[in-house]
Amino acid sequence: MASEIEQAKTSPSLGFLYAAMALLLLAAPVPTARAAERCPGAETTLALLECLGRRLVESDRRLAEALRGVETSAQREPGDAFLPLWRRFSEGLVSGSDPARQLRALQRERRQICQYVNSLSLQGSGFGVFVLSCELDLNEALLQQVRN
């Protein structure tokens, strides 16, 4: 754990990710309101959690597809110099150039930061709703970045 913290402190990509997440979370609407918008038919906390969980699985599927698209775009770049350069750059990142590894690393970091940010609601029944809403917000932000 200590080595992960040290790595986060020295890794510009993780530091940027944490800063972006913090800004996004500060600007995000109240999680329960966003959850209700995402799952308008959910009448109980359990139904809301199930709905948000399904939405997160679908969002992760779209994100995995988008990450594969990044790799495909890099492979299609003309010339012989870009792809090796891109791979060297990507291997310098925490999870390398493999889109599946990137997604798994993102999921771990996303869950951890969303749990931490919402930790003050740990004893409440809405903790899971807050965490899942946070994770969906972060996925949406990343999908938007890939689209741009």
For 26-82, the pLDDT digits (tens) are: 444 445 677 778 899 888 888 889 999 999 999 999 999 998 998 888 888 887 888
Range of the domain at 99: 43-147
Residue 89 lies in a domain: yes
In a domain, 6, yes or no: no
In a domain, 3, yes or no: no
pLDDT reported for residue 88:
82
| 132: pLDDT strictly greater than 60 | yes
CA distance 68 to 75: 11
Number of domains in the chain: 1
The pLDDT of residue 4 is above 60: no
Report the alpha-carbon distance of residue 64 to residue 104 in Å, rounded. Answer: 9
Rounded Cα distance, 136 and 129, in Å: 11
Is the pLDDT at 136 greater than 90, yes or no?
A: yes
pLDDT, residue 28, reads: 46
Higher pLDDT, 46 or 25: 46
Q: Is residue 14 part of a domain?
A: no
Tell which wins on pLDDT, 12 or 50: 50
In a domain, 110, yes or no: yes
